[in-house]
Amino acid sequence: MKKLLAFLWLLLPLGMGAEIYTLRFEGPIDPLLEEYAVHSLKDIGQRGNARLVIIEIDTPGGFDTSMRVIIKAMLNTGVPVAVYVSPRGARAASAGFFILLAADVAAMAPGTNTGAAHPVSVTGSEIEKTMKEKVTNDAVSYVKSLAKNRRRNMEMSEKAVSESRSYTAEECLKGGLIDLIAADTRELVGRLQGKTLARADGGETTLELEKERIIALEMSARQKFLRTITNPSLAYFLLIFGLIGLYIEFTHPGGVIPGILGGISLLLAFLAFQILPINYVGLFLILLSIGFFIAEIKVQGFGILGIGGIISFILGSVMLINSPIPEMRPAMPMIISFALCFACVLLFLTMKVYQAMRRKKETGSEGLIGETGVAKTDIDNHQGKVFIHGEWWNAVADGLIPTGTRVRVESMDNLVLKVTKSGG
């Protein structure tokens, strides 16, 4: 029985129609995209009915480690792989350039570009000179190896890394960096029909793609969710929203909802920071700014602590994900918006504190100073009674004040009011 099942399993691909599979690489090359690529290529290889895999790419670059894992999966899959820079206006920069070169078929849509592959620190920090030379030489060697293996222009490939050269689709085709330019996926498939490819292992494959179905393999729901929250702007928003939620919960116990939403948001932000190139100095500056804001409210720093908090907040936000790739940094308009919101709140609170300090006191002994009442007895410099704020008080005056006269409180000593005649 087992032998029969094994035999049927081997025959299964023969009864299935051959298919073309497409993957979509959009955004930075990161561990999530790496997982999606490796698992998809492995799954396609196990199906045994694939004629071609088309990777549609539009990326500013990304992690070197993820790029190399993806290229390794491409080179070791049993199915021809075409990397197609699309749609119009897309690019395959930095890590994307290496992936494009490594493909069995390198194609670009009109109006796209590739290159600018000089290695940089993904955190944006300066690489020490000797280490920078090592990293650059390693990248040059790698790109030359890929270009030689795929019979592509080694000189142009090397300059894209060592000199950060960037090339248009037309320049790539003319210089021999890519195989063809196609307007869309259908045209690409049509142009590849009957084409014989030299594989990375030295063998050759002739593509028979007529009337084959094109099936798009998308990210799983889990990968889509993680890809969404690792958007730098969203991760930054979750961090700030989480801190505000927890602050509200701690200062107003029993609210529950702010605490729940704040805790979940903060955990999701930290999950995103596991993948993003986080700068912990920036994170600590943001936490410090929150401390300054709280201190401003609690100890009335007359705006000084608040200004320090705003400066710390902006610096921390800019440094939080300090990547040379703009797509891997929080959007500056969002940072400015949060900073302005905090500044407006602090300005409002500082103004209210200042107004409260200037306002006349209304309780205690100080609250009686300046108040007016009625003399209920004659008042002289020894004794007398007045009625103020619904209460009877002992009072004295420098001169005689007759009963029924309206009086004004000047001071108080040992619960005895010193009064004068009121002009009103």
CATH number at residue 134: 3.90.226.10
Q: Report pLDDT for 349.
A: 66
pLDDT at residue 122 is higher than 60? no
- Mean pLDDT, rounded, for 194-198: 85
Residue 11 covered by a domain: no
In a domain, residue 363? The reply is no
Q: Which domain holds residue 333?
A: 230-358
Q: Is residue 384 included in any domain, yes or no?
A: yes
Model pLDDT, residue 367: 65
The verdict on 98 and 155 lying in the same domain is: yes
Residue 385 φ/ψ, nearest 5 degrees? -130, 140
Which range scores top for mean pLDDT: 247-256, 291-300, 396-405?
396-405
Which of 167, 196, 222 lies at the terminal end of a domain, its last residue? 222
Pair 383, 264 in one domain: no
* Residue 177 DSSP symbol: S
pLDDT at 16: 47
Q: Which of 11-20, 48-57, 101-110 has the lowest mean pLDDT?
A: 11-20
In terms of DSSP bridges, do strands 372-375 and 385-388 run parallel, antiparallel, or are they unpaired? antiparallel
Torsion over CA of 374, 375, 381 and 382, rounded to 10 degrees? -130
Residues 322 and 292 in one domain: yes
Which is more confidently placed, 31 or 324? 31
Number of domains comprising the chain: 3
In order of 131, 159, 313, 319, 367, the CA distances from 141 in angstroms are 15, 12, 42, 32, 83
Using DSSP's 3-state secondary structure scheme, residue 364 falls into coil
| Same domain? 67 vs 201 | yes
Which one is predicted more confidently, 389 or 404?
404
Which range has highest mean pLDDT (6-10, 88-92, 136-140)? 88-92
pLDDT tier, 217 (very low <50, low <70, confident <90, very high otherwise): very high
**Would strands 180-181 and 105-108 be described as parallel, antiparallel, or unpaired?**
parallel
**Region for 21 from its dihedrals, namely left if φ exceeds 0, alpha if ψ lies in -120 to 50, beta otherwise:** beta
Q: What is the per-residue pLDDT across 44-70, written as a single tens digit (0 to 9) for each?
A: 988 878 899 999 999 998 888 999 999
* Residue that is written with structure tokens 């108080």 in the block: 412
Q: What is the mean pLDDT of residues 287-294?
A: 82
Bigger pLDDT: 88 vs 282: 88
- The winner for highest mean pLDDT among 59-73, 109-123, 280-294, 382-396 is 59-73
What mean pLDDT is predicted for residues 127-137?
A: 73
In a domain, 126, yes or no: yes
95 and 43 belong to one structural domain: yes
Residue 351 lies in a domain: yes
Distance CA 108, CA 169 (A): 6
Establish if 180 belongs to a structural domain: yes
* Residues 105, 146 within the same domain: yes
Q: Evaluate whether residue 132 is within a structural domain.
A: yes
Q: How confident is the model at residue 300 (pLDDT cuts 50, 70, 90)?
A: low
Same domain? 169 vs 243 = no
Least confident span in 88-102, 118-132, 235-249, 319-333: 118-132
Q: Determine which of 7-11, 47-51, 327-331, 384-388 has the lowest per-residue pLDDT on average.
A: 7-11
Which of 222, 253, 283 corresponds to the end of one domain?
Answer: 222
pLDDT digits (tens, 9 = 90+) for 29-41: 988 999 999 999 9
pLDDT in the model for residue 14: 40
pLDDT of residue 7: 40
In this prediction, residues 193-200 reach a mean pLDDT of 84
Domain assignment of residue 6, yes or no: no
List, in sequence order, every residue forming a beta bridge with 20; answer none if it has no partner: 52, 214
- Asked if 268 and 382 sit in the same domain, the reply is no
Q: Is the pLDDT of residue 371 over 60?
A: yes
Mean pLDDT score, 281-291: 85
Residues 404, 265, single domain; the answer is no
Of the residues 320, 338, 358, the one at which a domain ends: 358
Whether residue 41 is found in the same domain as residue 91: yes
- Rounded CA separation 386/379 (Å): 8
Q: Which amino acid is at 88?
A: R
Question: Is 100 in the same domain as 238?
Answer: no
Over residues 336-357, the pLDDT tens digits come to 887 788 777 767 766 766 666 5
Q: Is 36 exposed, middle or buried (0-12, 13-18, 19+ CB in 10 A)?
A: buried
Same domain, yes or no: 30 and 46: yes
Mean pLDDT of 158-173: 93
Residue 402: how many other CB atoms lie within 10 Å: 10
pTM exceeds cut of 0.75:
no
Instruction: Report whether 343 contacts 296 (CB < 8 A).
Output: no
CA max distance for the chain: 124
Percent of the chain with pLDDT over 70: 85
Q: Is the pLDDT of residue 9 over 70?
A: no
Q: Which of 248-252, 264-268, 387-391, 419-423 has the lowest mean pLDDT?
A: 248-252
